[in-house]
Structure 1
Amino acid sequence: MVAIKPPIQIKTPANLKRAVTYILKEAKTVLPMKTKTDFPFPIVSKNGKLHFQLVSGHQIEDVSIADEEMILTKLAAAFHKGDDDLKELTDNKQVLAHHIIQSFSPEDNLTPEQVHEIGRKTMLEFLGPDYQFVIATHTDRDHLHNHIIVNTTNSSTLKKLRWQKNTLKNLRAISDKHAAKYGAKIIEPTMKNSYTKYSAWRRQNNFRYELKQRLDFLLKHSTSLEDFKEKAKALEVQIDFSGKFVKYRLLTPLDGKLQERNTRDDTLSKKRLYTLEKIKERVSKNQLTVPTSNIKEMYQQYREEKELDFELKLDVASWQVEQESPKGIYLQLDMGALDSGTILIPSHKVDKKEDGSYTIYIKEKDYFYFLNPDYSEKNRYMMGVTVARQLAKQNGEVLITKNPHISSMRELIKEYNFLVQHGVTDGEQFSHLEERFNQKIADVEKELKRLDGRLARYHKIEGALLALEKTPENTLPALQLLDEMDLPRDVSLSDVSQLIRQYDIEKGALQEFFNDTLREYTNYRELQDVVRVREQAHKHALEEKRL
Structure 2
Amino acid sequence: MVYTKHKTIGKLSHLGSATSYVENALKTVVEKSESSHLDNIFPYIMNDDKTLSKQLVSGYKIIDVYNAEEEFLTTKEIAAKQKGTNYELNPETGELVFQRSSLEKNNAVLGHHLIQSFSPEDHLTPEEVHEIGRKTVLELTGGEYEFVIATHVDKGHLHNHIIFNSTNLVTGNAFRWQKNTKRTFEKISDKIAEKAGAKIIVKSPRQTHQKYTLWQTQNIYKSKIKQRLDHLLQFSSDIEDFKTKAAALNLEVDFSGKWATYKLLDEPQIKNTRGRSLQKSDPEKYNLDKIIDTLKDNVDQNISVDDVVSSYEEKVETVKNDFDYQLILEPWQIDQVTDRGIYVKVDFGISQSGQIFVPGFKIDQLENGGASLYIKQSDYFYFMNEKKADKNRYLTGASLVKQMSLYNGTIPIRKEMVISTIDEMMKAINFLADHGVTSGAQVDNAVDKLKNAVQEAQDKLSELDDKIIELNLTVKKIATGDIAENSPEGITIDLIQSEIQSNQTSRKLLDKKLNSTLKEFEYLNEVVATKRKVENKEGPKLHF
Bucket of the pairwise TM-score, normalised by the shorter protein: 0.7 to 0.9
Q: 1:519 to 1:104 in 2, by over 3 A?
A: same
1:513 lines up with 2:501 in the alignment? no
Q: Distance in 1 between matches of 2:524 and 2:339?
A: 48
Q: 1:523 to 1:263 in 2, by over 3 A?
A: closer
Q: In the alignment, is the contact (CA less than 8 A) between 1:393 and 1:498 conserved in 2?
A: no
Question: In structure 2, which of residues 144, 149, 169 is the aligned counterpart of residue 135 of structure 1?
Answer: 149
Q: In the alignment, is the contact (CA less than 8 A) between 2:16 and 2:69 conserved in 1?
A: yes
Q: Distance in 2 between matches of 1:25 and 1:464?
A: 74
Per the alignment, residue 277 of structure 1 pairs with 289
Deviation at 1:81, TM superposition (A): 1.9
Q: Which secondary structure does the structure 2 equivalent of 1:154 belong to?
A: coil
Per the alignment, residue 403 of structure 1 pairs with 416
Deviation at 1:16, TM superposition (A): 1.8
TM-score with structure 1 setting the length = 0.79
Per the alignment, residue 23 of structure 2 pairs with 24
Q: In the alignment, is the contact (CA less than 8 A) between 1:180 and 1:327 conserved in 2?
A: no
1:375 lines up with 2:392 in the alignment? no
Question: In structure 1, which of residues 286, 311, 317 is the aligned counterpart of residue 330 of structure 2?
Answer: 317
Query: What one-letter code is carried by the residue in structure 2 that aligns with 1:237?
Result: L
Q: 1:78 to 1:423 in 2, by over 3 A?
A: closer
Q: In the alignment, is the contact (CA less than 8 A) between 1:352 and 1:358 conserved in 2?
A: yes
Per the alignment, residue 165 of structure 2 pairs with 151
Q: Distance in 2 between matches of 1:492 and 1:18?
A: 64
Q: Distance in 2 between matches of 1:95 and 1:456?
A: 64
Q: In the alignment, is the contact (CA less than 8 A) between 1:102 and 1:119 conserved in 2?
A: yes
Query: What one-letter code is carried by the residue in structure 2 that aligns with 1:13?
Result: L
Deviation at 1:180, TM superposition (A): 0.8
- Consecutive unaligned residues in structure 1, runs of 5 or more: 480-488, 533-537, 539-547
Q: Distance in 2 between matches of 1:377 and 1:62?
A: 29
Query: What one-letter code is carried by the residue in structure 1 that aligns with 2:290?
Result: K
Query: What one-letter code is carried by the residue in structure 1 that aligns with 2:166?
Result: T
Deviation readout 1:3-47 (Å, 9 max, x if unpaired):
334x3232333332222122222333332335866344222369x
Q: 1:207 to 1:4 in 2, by over 3 A?
A: farther
Q: In the alignment, is the contact (CA less than 8 A) between 2:381 and 2:397 conserved in 1?
A: yes
Q: 1:196 to 1:233 in 2, by over 3 A?
A: closer
1:226 lines up with 2:240 in the alignment? yes
Q: Distance in 2 between matches of 1:262 and 1:54?
A: 51
Q: In the alignment, is the contact (CA less than 8 A) between 1:249 and 1:261 conserved in 2?
A: yes
Q: Distance in 2 between matches of 1:13 and 1:395?
A: 51
Per the alignment, residue 63 of structure 1 pairs with 65
1:430 lines up with 2:443 in the alignment? yes
Query: What one-letter code is carried by the residue in structure 2 that aligns with 1:408?
Result: T
Q: Distance in 1 between matches of 2:168 and 2:354?
A: 23
Per the alignment, residue 236 of structure 1 pairs with 250
Q: 1:190 to 1:235 in 2, by over 3 A?
A: closer
1:72 lines up with 2:85 in the alignment? no
Per the alignment, residue 545 of structure 1 pairs with none
Question: In structure 1, which of residues 93, 96, 112 is the aligned counterpart of residue 126 of structure 2?
Answer: 112
Q: In the alignment, is the contact (CA less than 8 A) between 2:234 and 2:442 conserved in 1?
A: no
Q: In the alignment, is the contact (CA less than 8 A) between 1:405 and 1:444 conserved in 2?
A: yes
Matches within 5 A, 1:323-334: 323-334=336-347
Deviation at 1:373, TM superposition (A): 1.2
Q: Distance in 2 between matches of 1:96 and 1:458?
A: 61
Deviation readout 1:399-431 (Å, 9 max, x if unpaired):
221111101111112222344566644322122
Deviation at 1:144, TM superposition (A): 3.0
Q: Distance in 2 between matches of 1:166 and 1:491?
A: 39
Q: Distance in 1 between matches of 2:123 and 2:420?
A: 44
Query: What one-letter code is carried by the residue in structure 2 that aligns with 1:193?
Result: Q
Q: Distance in 2 between matches of 1:497 and 1:390?
A: 19
Cα root mean square deviation, aligned:
4.0
1:42 lines up with 2:54 in the alignment? no
Deviation at 1:446, TM superposition (A): 5.6
Question: In structure 1, which of residues 52, 55, 59 is the aligned counterpart of residue 54 of structure 2?
Answer: 52
Q: Which secondary structure does the structure 2 equivalent of 1:277 belong to?
A: helix
Deviation at 1:366, TM superposition (A): 1.0
Deviation at 1:504, TM superposition (A): 4.5
Q: Distance in 2 between matches of 1:288 and 1:458?
A: 51
Q: Which secondary structure does the structure 1 equivalent of 2:196 belong to?
A: coil
Question: In structure 2, which of residues 415, 418, 427 is the aligned counterpart of residue 414 of structure 1?
Answer: 427
Question: In structure 1, which of residues 294, 298, 305 is the aligned counterpart of residue 318 of structure 2?
Answer: 305
1:162 lines up with 2:176 in the alignment? yes
Question: In structure 1, which of residues 79, 82, 94 is the aligned counterpart of residue 108 of structure 2?
Answer: 94
Deviation at 1:309, TM superposition (A): 1.7
Q: 1:209 to 1:117 in 2, by over 3 A?
A: farther
Q: Distance in 1 between matches of 2:439 and 2:343?
A: 53
Q: Distance in 1 between matches of 2:255 and 2:109?
A: 50
Q: Which secondary structure does the structure 2 equivalent of 1:91 belong to?
A: helix
Number of aligned residue pairs: give it: 509
Which 10-residue stretch deviates more, 176-185 or 82-91? 82-91
Query: Identity rate of aligned residues, in percent?
Result: 39
Deviation readout 1:140-192 (Å, 9 max, x if unpaired):
34443322222122213333323334433322221111011133233459673
1:352 lines up with 2:355 in the alignment? no
Q: In the alignment, is the contact (CA less than 8 A) between 1:10 and 1:16 conserved in 2?
A: yes
Which 10-residue stretch deviates more, 419-428 or 315-324? 419-428
Q: 1:415 to 1:31 in 2, by over 3 A?
A: same
1:214 lines up with 2:228 in the alignment? yes
Deviation at 1:349, TM superposition (A): 1.0
Deviation at 1:381, TM superposition (A): 1.8
Query: What one-letter code is carried by the residue in structure 2 that aligns with 1:23?
Result: V
Q: Distance in 2 between matches of 1:100 and 1:8?
A: 7
Per the alignment, residue 535 of structure 1 pairs with none
Q: In the alignment, is the contact (CA less than 8 A) between 1:12 and 1:92 conserved in 2?
A: no
Q: 1:340 to 1:458 in 2, by over 3 A?
A: farther
TM-score with structure 2 setting the length = 0.79
Query: What one-letter code is carried by the residue in structure 1 that aligns with 2:286?
Result: Y
Q: 1:441 to 1:17 in 2, by over 3 A?
A: same
Q: Distance in 2 between matches of 1:334 and 1:398?
A: 17
Deviation readout 1:352-385 (Å, 9 max, x if unpaired):
2445432221112211112221232332222223
Deviation at 1:75, TM superposition (A): 1.9
Per the alignment, residue 482 of structure 1 pairs with none
Question: In structure 2, which of residues 213, 238, 241 is the aligned counterpart of residue 196 of structure 1?
Answer: 213
Query: What one-letter code is carried by the residue in structure 1 that aligns with 2:165?
Result: N
Matches within 5 A, 1:371-520: 371-420=384-433, 424-444=437-457, 447=460, 491=490, 493=492, 498-499=498-499, 501-514=501-514, 517=517
Q: 1:327 to 1:195 in 2, by over 3 A?
A: farther
Q: 1:528 to 1:109 in 2, by over 3 A?
A: closer
Q: Distance in 2 between matches of 1:527 and 1:12?
A: 79
Deviation at 1:261, TM superposition (A): 5.5
